[in-house]
Amino acid sequence: MSLDLLAFDTSTEQLSVAVQRADGVRQRRQAAGGARASAALIPSVQALLAQAGLALGELRAIVFGRGPGSFTGLRTACSVAQGLAFGAGVPALPVDTLLAVAEAARRSHGATRVLALLDARMDELYSAAYVHDGDGWRALSGIAVGRPEALLAPSEAVGGGWALAGNAFEPKYVNRLPPALQGWPRIEAAPTADALLDLAPALLAAGLAVPAGQALPLYIRDKVAQTTAERIAVTPGAR
């Protein structure tokens, strides 16, 4: 069943926005994300709603990636979700960005057993494991953050069929993954607005929509940046 929905994610370097009408037709846009998302997000929302012929008050919910991800990007997403939801009198639907990565991998490659990874900066990765049972996703672990060497395969990862999915496949990360994960397929995937829209019906049915004031970010760590000494320790010669 399709619903009138607005979805957006600003947690990575890519801003993704989409509007879906109840007949299933979608309009979508992409732009620079992270710290630059604030300039493009609201104009993109306005343009897509106009293209879809929808008003904010007609939406079933405003769906947004709540994190983890770019601190500035998450604050942008939450503040815009709060403002739009409050002004239109509609609920907000926060969605974990790593769950959206898993859904994006399913959309693009049919993956149903996913260890989702996002670049957490500061030489770390965000990670979470999910299994799709045909009806929906089940999380096997909470979202974690840590060095690539510390990443663990899910306890249920036996018999194959697992894939790594996300935006953290640069050599500086993948060359340091534990041997057990080195042979897993790698799927480039981001928490796109399309993935958020695909997840939304089940999450709404589960009662996970919230009032505007509860559209809050999910921070896995409080530290935003490394000190100069920490940057040098990771990258010798850096200044």
Peptide bond before residue 68 is cis, with ω within 30 degrees of 0: yes
Nearest-CA neighbor of 174 among 191, 158, 188? 188
Nearest-CA neighbor of 147 among 127, 164, 128? 127
**Does the pLDDT value for residue 38 go beyond 90?**
no
The residue length of the chain stands at 239
**Does the pLDDT value for residue 195 go beyond 80?**
yes
CA pair distance 97, 93, nearest whole angstrom: 12
**Does the pLDDT value for residue 117 go beyond 50?**
yes
Q: Which residues contact 168 (CB under 8 A, 6 or more apart)?
A: 117, 118, 119, 125, 174
CA pair distance 20, 27, nearest whole angstrom: 7
**Does the pLDDT value for residue 127 go beyond 90?**
yes
The two three-digit tokens of residue 72, written as one number: 């500035």
Q: Which tops the pLDDT comparison, 238 or 46?
A: 46
- Could you tell me the residue ranges of all domains in the chain? 5-96+191-214, 98-188
- Give strand ranges (E) for the chain: 5-9, 14-20, 26-32, 61-67, 92-96, 113-119, 125-132, 137-139, 144-146, 163-166, 186-188
DSSP at 41: H
Q: What is the pLDDT of residues 213-233, one digit of tens each?
A: 999 999 998 544 433 333 334
- 5-96+191-214: CATH topology: Nucleotidyltransferase; domain 5 (3.30.420)
Q: What is the pLDDT of residues 11-36, one digit of tens each?
A: 999 999 999 999 999 999 998 887 77
The per-residue pLDDT for 154 is 85
**Does the pLDDT value for residue 210 go beyond 60?**
yes
**Does the pLDDT value for residue 76 go beyond 60?**
yes
Asked whether this chain's domains 5-96+191-214 and 98-188 adopt the same fold, the reply is yes
Helix (H, G, I), strand (E, B) or coil at 153: coil
First to last CA, the chain: 54
Dihedral pair phi/psi, residue 154, rounded to 5°: -60, 150
Q: What is the pLDDT of residues 53-75, one digit of tens each?
A: 999 999 999 999 999 999 999 99
Which CATH number describes the domain made up of 98-188? 3.30.420
